[in-house]
Amino acid sequence: MSGWGTPSRTVTLGRVQPQSPALRTIYCNHREANFAHRYKGNSISTTKYNVFTFLPKGLYEQFRRVANLYFLMVSILSATPYSPVHPITNMVPLSLVLLFSLIKEAFEDWQRFQNDMTINNSLVDVLQAQGWESLQWKKLQVGDIIRVKQDGFFPADLLLLASTNVDGICYIETANLDGETNLKIRKALERTWDYVTPEKACEFKGEVQCEQPNNSLYTFTGNLVVDNQTMPLSPNQILLRGCSLKNTDYIVGTVIFTGHETKVMMNSMNVPSKRSTLERKLDKLILALFSTLFSMCLLGAIGSGIFIDRKYYYLGLSQSVEDQFNPSKRFLVIILTMLTLLTLYSTIIPISLYVSIETIKFIQSSQFINKDLNMYHAESNTPASARTSNLNEELGQVEYIFSDKTGTLTRNLMEFFKCSIGGEMYGTGMTEIEMGVAERKGIKVQEAKTSTNSLREKGFNFDDVRLMQGAWRHEPNHDACKEYFRCLAICHTVLPEGEETPEKIRYQAASPDEAALVLAAKNFGFFFYRRTPTMIYVRESHVEKMGKTQDVSYEILNVLEFNSTRKRQSVVCRYPDGRLVLYCKGADTVIYERLGTGNDDLNKVTRVHLEQFGSAGLRTLCLAYRDLAPDLYESWNEKFITAKSSLRDREKRLDEVAELIEKELILIGATAIEDKLQEGVPNCIQTLSRAGIKIWVLTGDKIETAINIAYACNLLNNEMKQFIISSETDAIREVEERGDQTEIARFMKEEVKKQLKQFLDEAPQYFCSPSGPKLALVIDGKCLMYALEPSLRIMLLTLSLNCSSVVCCRVSPLQKAQVTSLVKKGARKITLSIGDGANDVSMIQAAHIGIGISGLEGMQAVMASDFAIAQFRFLEDLLLVHGRWSYIRLCKVVMYFFYKNLAFTLTQFWFTFGTGFSGQRFYDDWFQSLYNVIFTALPVVIVGLFDQENCRNMGLFCSVSISSLLLLRISFKFNEQGFRW
């Protein structure tokens, strides 16, 4: 978390949990001092039960179901002397159902237990008496100093003290944490670099003051106190449990958080529980059946009270010792007969219904969805995965789809495609979006010819002879080109890997965008080949003279990191000649706000280029720089170090300090990166639209980019009537220039309200006419912020529900979740959210069904989802094949269950009229009890798994009917000797 009581702005796998305002104090290498704080041990348990709680908790879970609770009541009634059936015949079926469910629960929990035992008993080297001793993970305690070797996993959340690499750095892989396979760099504080050997580590007696345990994966606030010297700690010194050590012989660290207080374990909690609509309706149907049962029993009981009369003296009822048949106690006869008939008609509610449906759903998900070759992605070797079997039939009822764009509709394989440098546009290619726009206008597009000297590399798809192979030196703006390429090569957090040659080096980047920009710098002759925590090494070509190459080292003084609030990244570096420069790259809106005066012509031309790039569907960033005077930098750096050392609101203070230096920037140019559409996306969207499903795209891109992507995806077309609500209007810009935030908010809210009202008045004339055009709504994030306010929310919902397509641009992760919840609650229809990144987690959890794309942005979305697929186009099979079949089959199973049980029970009910409402059995005890559990169990499951519309399984239904008739005949055999009173 960023502070005490302030919610984290980073995206986590679950919901950020509140933490105690108190600090945690840890005494390194001092178990006795830490013992007083009673920190949790490092043993973990992911099981739902233990030996003592399995039976009570397991039974509680089973009896939360209405049907099981009902049959428990019936079993208790059957043990009374007024029951017409033996109590065992009711208890055995209930016991079988409960036993089946409990065995399933126990098996799943035993697997969790075995996995926990394997992890808890893993070995790690712990410092003991001036030497390393192997101990089990579960015996680790807070404050212990441990050693983790290369390729080993971190057993707890650790503070990195020392590493065998130079400058105390190490490389870690976080695939088990967030699915990202790229390596990340961590660096120990310089004060602790010496504690590599056990002899030196024994001398370490530091004290860590840090935040309380929380589940924010990418933040950490704390200080290390050694010999009365206080040093700030950041996430760069923290090694999280579950990550592994790479490219480093070993590291030495001290344990900060253990067991269930580690960040990865705290993220495994609070997953929202989702129940399908069918399951909720099933509970209501069972209650309705119970009402029917009660009515039948009440009718029979009243009939019994009337039938028991003194005129039937020949029956000898007045001499009966049983109160149930005593004519002088009619009210008591009605009550007791009511209890008798409750047990007699109990089969009207199917005892095996839940078990059968669970079995069907489990097989549907594990055998049909997970093993469907039509949803298998060969390139990444990724099959579809049903992470829960509760929502299979829900897939067949989806009416609204909320989709992310990048990595979901597009491939998330970024390629450097075009650029703008010093007011000049470079790049001759044509994007897929431009081709789609041209085709829509009827313009024939010829494939562009690439130049003979153009280079092709994954991540670099740029073609312009004016910049390649040093030709940029002959450009009028060659100084701007040089700054542009250096900014690309220096302003990033990319890690190089492999041999230091342009052909064999590999770049590990936090995002595909960053890797594409560094690749572009390499292809332009500015080859970034090595980095340390304080230096970046670049091999520059053609700078001083054509054909000449030189290695230049840049000292990295400060890194102002990118986050969703800042939307920019900056690096302060020192050239070999002492020049101090701040390089900054970020979103155009953010960079333009921080540009200095002058260069208005360049700024206007570059803005035009940005609009052209956006119209072509390209992702854009602006590059800028600022020369810093040494005294200005020194005074600012003191504030930066102070903010970095603060324990409270550290992120907020760092952002405030960054604002002091990220101003008076000089614009260099802009980058344009292409992210191509995934294969089959337009056809999939068209098919889903024909099926009556409305698709919404929620993206952080500019409005022009989002609209053109929507055209390329068949989400929008020229026949549609588009309603556009944008904050990029002259009137709004004019108000924003005045800078009065209160006036801006008031004016924008009025503008949004006016546009919503205008479109609501205009919409009926289009959708009232059968031949009228379909409607589409496009709205950006600023306007959406006001449209989601309570006073305007209903207007937005009404308008959007009448639109076939909705595109929301420049939206934040929170707004994605808010829009999803608005439609989920307002429309009362089944919603589905699909995304691939951490910023989509809240949207995925807000919808009825969450789909995660196994993409390049890690596994956060998949871990929060209900189903996981590798490509958007697989949604067509998942919804229209598996979802539809699951829904139809399960509905038939429910109707089949109720039909066979009503037929079975109504026969008994009709028989009661011929027995004087005395509650005599029509069927044998065991046949009545095992009718659902054994005799008719398999046919229902078969229908739920294999029923299809083209064959209707007539043979199956015939066999069921014949078997039922045979079973009825057997039951008559039991009663041929007459009725027993």
**CB-CB contact of 407 with 857 (8 Å):** yes
Q: Would you state the pLDDT for residue 955? A: 46
In-domain check, residue 958: no
In-domain check, residue 258: yes
- The yes-or-no verdict on residue 954 having pLDDT over 70 is no
Q: Are residues 645 and 686 in the same domain?
A: no
CATH of residue 387: 3.40.50.1000
Q: What is the pLDDT of residues 706-753, one digit of tens each?
A: 887 888 888 887 788 889 998 888 888 788 777 778 888 899 999 999
Q: Span 115-123, mean pLDDT?
A: 89
305 annotated as ligand-binding: no
Q: Span 873-900, mean pLDDT?
A: 92
Q: Of 144, 157, 404, 655, which residue is the catalytic one?
A: 404
Domain containing residue 694: 382-409+678-763+771-881
- The yes-or-no verdict on residue 973 having pLDDT over 50 is no
Q: In whole angstroms, give the CA distance from residue 933 to residue 819.
A: 45
Position 978 confidence tier, pLDDT thresholds 50, 70, 90: very low
Q: Span 798-809, mean pLDDT?
A: 91
Q: Which residues pair with 124 in a beta bridge?
A: 135
829 annotated as ligand-binding: no
Position 7 confidence tier, pLDDT thresholds 50, 70, 90: very low
**Is residue 404 annotated as part of the catalytic site, yes or no?**
yes
Position 531 confidence tier, pLDDT thresholds 50, 70, 90: confident
Q: Which range (206-215, 307-316, 739-748, 812-821) has the least confidence?
A: 307-316
Q: Which range (85-89, 236-240, 311-315, 358-362) has the least confidence?
A: 311-315
In-domain check, residue 333: no
Q: In whole angstroms, give the CA distance from residue 776 to residue 766.
A: 11
206 annotated as ligand-binding: no
- The yes-or-no verdict on residue 270 having pLDDT over 50 is no
Q: Which range (587-601, 644-658, 688-702, 908-922) has the least confidence?
A: 644-658
In-domain check, residue 930: no
What is the C-alpha end-to-end distance of the chain, expressed in Å? 75
Q: In whole angstroms, give the CA distance from residue 67 to residue 352.
A: 9
Which of the listed residues 675, 701, 717 is the one where a domain comes to its end?
675
CATH of residue 464: 3.40.1110.10
Decide the pairing of beta strands 238-239 and 506-508. unpaired
671 annotated as ligand-binding: no
Q: Are residues 398 and 510 in the same domain?
A: no
Q: Are residues 523 and 627 in the same domain?
A: yes
167 annotated as ligand-binding: no
In-domain check, residue 618: yes
Q: Which residues pair with 159 in a beta bridge?
A: 238, 254
Q: Span 416-434, mean pLDDT?
A: 89
Q: What is the pLDDT of residues 506-517, one digit of tens each?
A: 887 767 788 899
Q: Would you state the pLDDT for residue 4? A: 33
514 annotated as ligand-binding: yes
Q: In whole angstroms, give the CA distance from residue 963 to residue 970.
A: 11
In-domain check, residue 344: no
Q: What is the pLDDT of residues 533-556, one digit of tens each?
A: 789 999 999 888 887 899 999 999
Count other Cβ atoms within 10 Å, centred on residue 533: 16
Q: Span 864-887, mean pLDDT?
A: 92
Q: Would you state the pLDDT for residue 977? A: 39
Q: Would you state the pLDDT for residue 959? A: 46
- The yes-or-no verdict on residue 3 having pLDDT over 60 is no
Q: Would you state the pLDDT for residue 937? A: 78
Q: Are residues 701 and 572 in the same domain?
A: no
Task: Please tell me which residue, 806 or 599, carries the higher pLDDT value.
Answer: 806
**CB-CB contact of 624 with 570 (8 Å):** no
57 annotated as ligand-binding: no
Q: Are residues 527 and 607 in the same domain?
A: yes
Q: Would you state the pLDDT for residue 279? A: 80
Secondary structure of the chain: what % helix, strand, coil (to 5)?
A: 45, 20, 35
Q: In whole angstroms, give the CA distance from residue 258 to residue 244.
A: 16
810 annotated as ligand-binding: yes
Q: In whole angstroms, give the CA distance from residue 634 to residue 612.
A: 40
700 annotated as ligand-binding: yes
Q: Would you state the pLDDT for residue 269? A: 44
**What is the dihedral angle through the alpha carbons of 903, 909, 910, 914, rounded to the nearest 10 degrees?**
150
In-domain check, residue 966: no
Q: Span 651-677, mean pLDDT?
A: 90
Which of the listed residues 62, 92, 123 is the one where a domain comes to its end?
123
Q: Are residues 569 and 480 in the same domain?
A: yes
Per-residue tokens: 275: 């129940």
Q: Span 560-567, mean pLDDT?
A: 78
**In angstroms, how far is CA 722 from the centroid of its own chain?**
31
Q: Would you state the pLDDT for residue 143? A: 92
**CB-CB contact of 612 with 419 (8 Å):** no
Q: Are residues 811 and 837 in the same domain?
A: yes
Number of domains in the chain: 4
In-domain check, residue 75: yes
Per-residue tokens: 859: 């596994």
835 annotated as ligand-binding: no
**CB-CB contact of 404 with 832 (8 Å):** no
Which of the listed residues 881, 913, 944 is the one where a domain comes to its end?
881
Q: Are residues 415 and 480 in the same domain?
A: yes
- The yes-or-no verdict on residue 448 having pLDDT over 60 is no
Q: Are residues 106 and 196 in the same domain?
A: no
Q: Would you state the pLDDT for residue 576? A: 93
Q: Are residues 483 and 622 in the same domain?
A: yes
Q: Are residues 108 and 148 in the same domain?
A: no
Q: Would you state the pLDDT for residue 22? A: 64
Q: What is the pLDDT of residues 277-295, one digit of tens each?
A: 888 888 888 888 889 989 9
Q: Would you state the pLDDT for residue 314? A: 59
Q: Are residues 118 and 183 in the same domain?
A: no
DSSP state for residue 934 in the 8-state scheme: I
Q: What is the pLDDT of residues 590-621, one digit of tens each?
A: 999 899 888 889 999 999 999 888 888 788 89
125 annotated as ligand-binding: no
